[in-house]
Amino acid sequence: MSKAEELGGGLATFVDERTGSNAWMRKNLNKVFPDHWSFMLGEVALYSFIVVLITGVYLSLFFRPDMTEVIYQGPYVPLKGVQMSDAFNSALEISFEVRGGLLMRQIHHWSALLFIGAVVVHMFRVFFTGAFRKPREMNWTIGVTLALMTIFAGFSGYSLPDDLVSGTGLRIAEGIMLSIPVVGTWASFLLFGGEFPGTDFISRLYGIHILLLPGIILALVTVHLILVWHQKHTQFAGPGRTNKNVVGYPLMPVYMAKAGGFFFLIFGVIVLISALVQINPIWTFGPYVPDQVGAGTQPDWYAGWMDGALRLFPPTEFRLFGYTWVMNIFIPALIIPGLVSISAYIYPWLEAKVKKDDREHHILDRPRDAPTRTGLGVMAITFYVVLAIAAGNDLIAIGFDLSINELIWWLRIATIVLPPIAFLVTRRICLSLQRRDREKLTHGRETGRILRLPHGEFIEVHAPLNADERAKIEAKVDVEALPEPAENDESGVRNPDFKKERRWSKLSGWFWRNNIEKPTDHEIEHGDEHIAEQVELEKPLREIEDKVVIGHDGSTLHHPGQPETNKEQYEQWVKDHPHPKSDPS
Amino acid sequence: MKTLARKRRHPAALVVLLLLGLLVTGGAYAVTNSLTEAKSAEQDQALIDEGRQLFLEGCSSCHGNQGTGTETGPSLIGVGAANVHFQMATGRMPLAGPAVQAPSKTPEYDEQQIAAIASYIASLAPGPAIPSAADLNTSEADAAEGGELFRANCAQCHQASFQGGALNDGRHAPNLTPVSDQLIFEAMLSGPQNMPVFSDSSLPVEDKQAIIAYINELREAPAPGGWALGSFGPVTEGLFFWTVGIAAAIACAVWIGAKVR
Ligand code: HEM
């Protein structure tokens, strides 16, 4: 044993004798984590969050959340002598005077974008694979809360420098608050400490941005990861993978090494982008002055869809109780995002209900095997993308020389029409893919080889599926739609919940519409026999001959450098394709 | 004397005095102005004649034989030489056909011809003159003050880093990056189309110079943070993020997550 090993061992023993940690470590370090690139998206979120935290600490050493007006005296000439808040002044200081400050600001901003982006992509991975199903609904709920918190964290940070663009964003946030019926004005006064913008808000926002939201996110991420740990990760179907095991690499050393390397890769990507690409050049926006607003003022992308909704929503107001109720901000800015969030929260339970499904699921769905869910997901993405595009409508209007008024109308129509179309098309595609899977299971894989039988008939040869593919297709879980409820039970007593149950049964029927049932065992057996027959028919061609100098795959040309005879070629092929069950094609 | 003293304090006295002052200065201005104008008109009579000829050939179909306007073009009486120079040097005029906004294109007339038409239009009625070299001298101008003026007066249409902005019905405030100092000055003087006129009384010459100095400062300085993505703000940043940033992260995930065979 080397000196270092002795020391390490001694330390481990010391800790173990006092905490019993070795048994715990052994159990947990032997945990297995399945391997698939899409399972690393959560990690991307985690790592970019770490980068956000580190750079945020650096920025907080120099940023002053103070709305006292000062005169800029720094080195950036086009702002020299301009009156601005000390917050903006210190943000300029970080950009132009603090060593590494501008790079830190850019890393912080780009990694924040990556954080939120990775959260969104991770969320859709979880959604499309059905990883939110029992027992992981709770973790999904925590996830939705996390997603909302990251958006708030992003927006609060974006607003801190008190520049003209973010100040305009805050002005819109104030307008949104004012739009809440009855309590809006009070809520806004409470938050801003009086009339907008006041002198308190940036320091309040600062506390929220560097303490409250990161604290909540950190706590929730911890619980989130403990749950992933405890419930174990899901896996895609494959040979030897069941609902009761996890196939993958042990955490130590393979997974840890990979994860460590992955962290530095992500860190590297962020730093590379931040060093090369400018983000949020506040010095060109200038300080916030409430009576100014620039053209082309947009929020960061994660808030873009809400801005888009605001831009598209038509004017609506009515009079009630002697007051005018203005809805054209309240609905797009609060009701629509509220509904979107609530739908995200309740979706796992909704789906379980229409499937009458209370089993545990540790094997993931392939998206095609849940056509309605996948359709709904694509519908949500389409809705989001159309609204995000609407947030850039002014830039699109200039870029493509369009009338912004017409563009708004087209986007309004697109917001309503495109998501349902996306839903229908996606569901169709999923069903077609399932149909092909079914075909493969009962008829084997098409090889593209045409065989002419002795009596003149041409057939296409099908080959048996390999084990991987077969396991994937067979993993589809078929569930019956909820039955149509009976109005009266056998003894003629009226079912009091009849109407409710019928509604659920209708919804369930819609969810399972056009479901393509998995082939029965009998059909599969029959198919296997059929494939075996074809393989038999083709056998004479497969006979390996010493003399023949043509490609063993049927090609008539012999390529230079290839082994000479049919037999040699076949042997070479087998060497190159060691999978025992594969066939030469 | 007491009455006069009282009358002096009468509120109307102030108004009377003011009117008097205005009348005197206004009259003096008009006289000197017409004098210089007459002098230059004399000198440039040949130029004006040439301009009139060019105008009749190329512009009168829309703006009328006397420049008083027709159904297809507004009156040019009193628009000034600066306006004509701006419209023609940016290629907006002569207009090729109906458009929501006269597009700028390569000018059809050379500087000499433009000067001729400009002085012809100026001879019809006085208006803002083409800025002199002194007007365009921005070496003394305060760029930072120009920045404040730009954000207060121009950014709402032209965007903070003057990449341009959309107005209603397909009209737009153009990108100012490629526009010369003189054309910026003239645009402010004449207020083309939807743009307001920033006359010398509302925005003095020094302020115009400051704005031009600011625009020059910004468009000449390299972006300190790297590639500026066209200076369009969060939209292009978001686009870059979703096409390059996320893609790079996912590529890393696929690479790390790839099965070791
Ligand atoms: C701060 C943001 C988040 C972080 C750092 C994070 C991190 C992670 C990590 C590292 C994993 C395990 C690896 C993986 O499956 O990708 C995971 C799993 C999971 N996450 Fe997240 N996540 C975040 C947000 C979310 C959101 C927004 C949702 C959904 C609304 C969500 C739902 C889930 C679920 C259900 C699992 C279990 C997946 C499975 O076992 O297949 N997470 N998360």
Spell out the per-residue pLDDT of chain A, length 585, in tens: 578 888 888 888 888 888 777 777 776 666 677 778 888 899 999 999 999 999 999 999 999 999 999 999 999 989 999 999 999 999 999 999 999 999 999 999 999 999 999 999 999 999 999 999 989 999 999 999 999 999 999 999 999 999 999 999 999 999 999 999 888 889 899 888 888 888 888 999 999 999 999 999 999 999 999 999 888 888 888 877 877 787 777 766 777 888 888 999 999 999 999 999 999 999 999 999 988 888 888 899 999 999 999 999 998 888 888 888 888 899 999 999 999 999 999 999 999 988 888 888 888 999 999 999 999 999 999 999 999 999 999 989 988 888 999 999 999 999 999 999 999 999 999 999 999 988 888 888 887 778 777 788 888 888 888 888 888 888 887 777 788 888 887 888 888 888 888 888 888 888 888 788 888 888 888 888 888 888 777 776 666 555 555 555 555 555 666 666 667 777 777 777 766 544 444
Angstroms from B96 CA to nearest CA on chain A: 18
Q: What atom of ligand 1 comes closest to residue A120's alpha carbon?
A: 27
Task: Report whether residue A67 contacts ligand 1, using a CB cutoff of 6 Å.
Answer: no
Cis peptide leading into residue A454 (ω within 30°)? no
Terminal Cα distance for chain B, rounded: 114
Tell me the pairing of strands A445-452 and A323-326.
unpaired
| Domain A43-236+249-285, classified CATH 1.20.810.10, yes or no | yes
> Two tokens at A255?
């997974």
Phi/psi of residue A314, nearest 5 degrees? -70, 155
Phi/psi of residue A450, nearest 5 degrees? -100, 135
Nearest CA to A364 out of A475, A474, A465 is that of A475
Q: Whose CA is nearest to atom 15 of ligand 1?
A: A39
- Candidate from A116, A126, A230 with most ligand 1 atoms within 8 A of CB, to mutate: A126
**Cβ–Cβ gap A294/B238 under 8 Å:** no
pLDDT in tens, A252-297: 677 788 888 899 999 999 999 999 999 999 999 999 998 888 888 8
Angstroms from A432 CA to nearest CA on chain B: 27
- ipTM reported for the complex, 2 dp: 0.82
Q: Where are the domains of chain A?
A: 43-236+249-285, 539-585
pLDDT in tens, A399-418: 888 899 999 999 999 999 99
pLDDT given at position A192: 87
Nearest CA to A86 out of A342, A336, A288 is that of A288
Task: Report whether residue A227 contacts ligand 1, using a CB cutoff of 6 Å.
Answer: no
pTM of the predicted structure, to 2 decimals? 0.85
Opening angle at CA B13, ends B9 and B18, nearest 5? 135
Rounded Cα gap, residues B175 and B165, in angstroms: 8
Which residues make Cβ contacts (< 8 Å) with residue B184, sequence separation at least 6?
B176, B211, B212, B215
**Cβ–Cβ gap B169/A106 under 8 Å:** no
Task: Report whether residue A438 contacts ligand 1, using a CB cutoff of 6 Å.
Answer: no
Chains A, B: CB pairs < 8 Å: 207
Q: What atom of ligand 1 comes closest to residue A232's alpha carbon?
A: 40
Task: Report whether residue A112 contacts ligand 1, using a CB cutoff of 6 Å.
Answer: no
Q: What separation in Å is there between the alpha carbon of A122 and the centre of ligand 1?
A: 6
Task: Report whether residue A123 contacts ligand 1, using a CB cutoff of 6 Å.
Answer: yes
Q: Whose CA is nearest to atom 7 of ligand 1?
A: A42
Helix segments in A392-493, DSSP class H: 393-399, 404-443, 467-474
**Cβ–Cβ gap B248/A269 under 8 Å:** yes
Rounded Cα gap, residues A497 and A487, in angstroms: 9
Q: What atom of ligand 1 comes closest to residue A46's alpha carbon?
A: 5
Task: Report whether residue A151 contacts ligand 1, using a CB cutoff of 6 Å.
Answer: no
pLDDT in tens, B40-49: 556 668 888 8
pLDDT given at position A528: 84
> A278, A291, A393: best mutation site toward chain B, by most B Cβ within 10 Å?
A278
Q: What atom of ligand 1 comes closest to residue A149's alpha carbon?
A: 1
3-state helix, strand, coil in chain A (%, to 5): 60, 5, 30
Q: Whose CA is nearest to atom 12 of ligand 1?
A: A42
Task: Report whether residue A228 contacts ligand 1, using a CB cutoff of 6 Å.
Answer: yes
Chain B residue nearest residue A47, CA to CA: B249
pLDDT given at position A54: 96
Angstroms from B142 CA to nearest CA on chain A: 8
Angstroms from B231 CA to nearest CA on chain A: 8
Asked whether the beta carbons of B227 and A278 are under 8 A apart, the reply is yes
Chain A residue nearest residue B159, CA to CA: A295
Q: Which domains does chain B have, with CATH numbers?
A: 37-95+102-130 (1.10.760.10), 131-244 (1.10.760)
Chain A residue nearest residue B153, CA to CA: A292
Q: Which residues of A touch B143 (CB under 8 A)?
A: 77-78
